[in-house]
Chain A
Amino acid sequence: MSAAADRLRAIDVGTVGFAVAAVVVVVGILSVFSTAVDVSGLVEDQTRTILGVAGIAVGAGLLRRWVRAEDRGYRPPEREELRPIEVPGDELDEQLAHVASLSSTEAVRYFRAQTRDDLRELAIEVLTRHRGCTTQTAREQLRSGAWTDDERAASFFRLGGDGGASDQVTGAIRRPVGGDHPHTARARAAVAELVRIAGAGA
């Protein structure tokens, strides 16, 4: 280890704060209790106010950093458990969670489109393999909602099937009480229907 790396940073906010505190305390105590030392010049109203405000500002800043800081010494990692591995389907679940939890309209729209695109490819394969559709027919059925009688499942792929702004409102109301976001509920219904079709055709 180099000498430089082994040396602590000599001056940081805490050190400055501590030095200021020490000086102020000494001066303050002397001014209050000692008649032998005349420090009245230092504790004129203006100087005292400036010192007081500076003390409060630096103190509040230090406290805030102390409360927020995650960096309170090195914590070695937990080595007792095995290194975690992804569960198949995690990626889609994360995207659905983003749709349910984000407030940015642009981000929600992006993840909604992403999940729909991913599941559309799967749906086309199910319909071509198990219903004998061509890719084009399957695409049209998904777009029109004709592929299933389940209205909620159909609306997942249907053009304009998502709730848009009403989804955002429903999602916001739902969040505190739990339960599926409308988009997640539609995705769940669509996947369940696809599983049913694939199972029936197997």
Chain B
Amino acid sequence: MSEQSIPAAARHAQPDEEPDPWTEPVPTGLRWTRRWRGVTGLTLLAIGFGLIIEQPGLLLASVFGVAFAAYGRLGAAPSPALEVERAIEVTDPDVGEQIPVTLTVHNDGDGRLRDLRIVDGVPSGLAVASGSPRIATSLPPGESAAVSYELEAARGGHTFDPVVAIVRDASGATERAVEIDAPGTIDCVPSLPAEPPPFPLRPQTTRYTGRTSAAEGGDGVEFHATREYRAGDPLGRIDWKRVARTGDLTTVEYRRERAASVLIVVDARRAAYAAPDPTAATSVDHCVEAARTIAGSLLDDGHSVGLTALSPRPPWLIPGRGVQHRLAIRTALGTHEAFERTPPDRSANVYAAGREIRNRIASDTQVVFVSPMLEEGASQAAHRLDAHGHLTTVVSPDVCVSDTVGQQAAGLARSLRLAGARQRGIPAIDWDPAEPFARALARSQRRWSA
């Protein structure tokens, strides 16, 4: 709906968007804190009343106010000369590992910094597990102050923001904020699982030998059909029981086992970002976790696996195999910006993204679409890919909760979308992230084979 179509009264009722504390620029430079404004106001009131009711006592009392206000007007916050050093004990942690961080601030200037506040630029994708990334201190020249805290590692490449230092003058009337660059990164790249559960692929295969049963007869282990004997058929494939029974020579055909080419498409659009709790793991985190298991499983089975995302900033790995390719998938799932905790600034065009995917992959490539299915665009993407001949399987982590009316409606809408996909013949794996993904896979396989 366009902004114009909303009546003015309703538009005004909506609260102004609050500034994003992670992207709001730091107001560097010297500024008044307005700390003494109240004293000046009280002083003027006292003087005003003193003059009108002719009370010399009030005028005398206001001398103190004037003195305080004058004190607040003296001097200005100094420009700090600070040197900052950050020690990160583990720079490539496992998910959930505690990372000790120590920030040391050294006063390189000549003057004492009487009121110094420091806040470390903790990356937006990491939470502080213990301690605090803040210092408030008075720092003489040549002295240092340090603060230690621990971060909890989460998937992704995390870059520290500049340290923010705020210095105030002795009266606290003025302050100066500065940003100090202190580069630091933490890369948390989870491995592909060592023994992933088998992933149920659809019967669309390439011409290369592999482990997926194709819909054509030939060599293999799973029975496919029998046909009339042709000269040259191996003796081992003649159905001798049938010969004994009827006298007809027939040859048994097995399903050919072929390798599949699979593109994993992770839904990382702005609309796909949600969480059951504002600070919990996001739907995209769960999608990435599922994609990691699927990629590991398919690569172990000898299939070609590629990776991309519905996102304004997608990664692109054309289906492939081998150690290097496995590493590339692992790294992309671990640190690519498309899978950051922060949703992209703009939305992605589902139709354009679908077209690009179809243009880039071979016609016999099937698609595993990993999406929370929170809105109609996700259903459209899955249906269109499937309709264009890339047999599609939907894997959907469920991040819906049901505490409020809106949440219940969102959960119901999502379940209808999954039902709609199944009705169109697209297998949909519904995964509650509270349980292991392997269990959801096993449940789906039981249902499909029943």
Contacts and interface: CB of A to CB of B under 8 A. Distances in A.
Interface of A: 1, 5-9, 12, 14-15, 17-18, 20-22, 24-25, 28-29, 32-33, 43, 48-49, 51-67, 69, 71-74, 76-94, 96, 98, 102, 104, 106-107, 110-111, 118-119, 122, 125-126, 129, 184, 187-188, 191-192, 194-195, 198, 202
A152 B21 CA distance: 42
B405 A188 contact: yes
Contact of A18 (B32, B70, B119): B70
A93 to B, nearest CB: 4
B24 to A, nearest CB: 7
A119 to B, nearest CB: 6
Contacts of A85: 273-275, 278-280, 282, 341, 343
A67 B42 CA distance: 12
Interface string B2-41: 0000110110111000000110101111111111111011
A28 B7 CA distance: 57
6 contacts: A8-B30, A28-B51, A61-B41, A76-B166, A92-B410, A122-B413
A198 B412 contact: yes
A110 B9 CA distance: 9
Given A66-B37, A83-B22, A76 B69 contact: no
B338 to A, nearest CB: 16
A118 B412 CA distance: 13
Interface residues of B, number: 98
Nearest to B120: A79
Nearest to B37: A66
Contact of A73 (B43, B47, B119, B175): B175
Top 7 A-B residue pairs of the complex, sorted by shortest distance between their CB atoms: A77-B21, A59-B44, A55-B48, A89-B406, A62-B41, A92-B406, A56-B48
Interface of B: 6-7, 9-10, 12-14, 21-22, 24, 26-38, 40-52, 54, 56, 59-60, 62-63, 65-66, 69-70, 73, 76, 117, 119-122, 124-128, 132-133, 164, 166, 168, 174-175, 177, 273-280, 282, 341-343, 372, 374, 399-401, 404-416, 419-420
B424 to A, nearest CB: 13
A14 B36 CA distance: 9
B342 A83 contact: yes
Contacts of B50: 28, 52
B44 A88 contact: no
A25 B22 contact: no
Nearest to A98: B13
A1 B35 CA distance: 24
B66 A18 contact: yes
Contact of A84 (B29, B117, B278): B278
A21 B46 CA distance: 10
A6 B27 CA distance: 11
A63 B45 contact: yes
A106 B10 CA distance: 7
A67 B41 CA distance: 11
Contacts of A191: 405, 408-409, 412
B63 A25 contact: yes
A51 B133 contact: no
Contacts of A52: 47-52
B412 A194 contact: yes
Given A79-B121, A192-B408, A62 B44 contact: yes
B49 A73 contact: no
B21 A84 contact: no
A73 B27 CA distance: 10
A60 B40 contact: no
A102 B121 CA distance: 39
A86 B401 CA distance: 12
A82 B123 CA distance: 9
Contacts of B73: 15, 18
Contacts of A79: 21-22, 119-122, 124, 128, 133
Given A12-B32, A83-B22, A85-B343, 10 more contacts: A8-B174, A18-B66, A18-B70, A20-B44, A28-B47, A53-B48, A60-B45, A74-B27, A90-B406, A194-B409
Given A83-B341, A89-B409, A107 B13 contact: yes
Given A18-B70, A32-B59, A74-B166, A184 B405 contact: yes
Contact of B62 (A8, A25, A49): A25
Interface centre among A58, A76, A198, by most chain B C-beta atoms within 10 angstroms, is A76
Contact of B34 (A66, A119, A125): A66
A91 B406 contact: yes
B75 to A, nearest CB: 11
B51 A93 contact: no
B199 to A, nearest CB: 25
A29 B59 CA distance: 7
A102 B34 contact: no
A72 B34 contact: yes
Given A29-B59, A32-B59, A52-B52, A110 B10 contact: yes
B262 to A, nearest CB: 28
A28 B58 CA distance: 10
B28 A92 contact: no
Interface centre among B125, B175, B274, B410, by most chain A C-beta atoms within 10 angstroms, is B410
B405 A62 contact: no
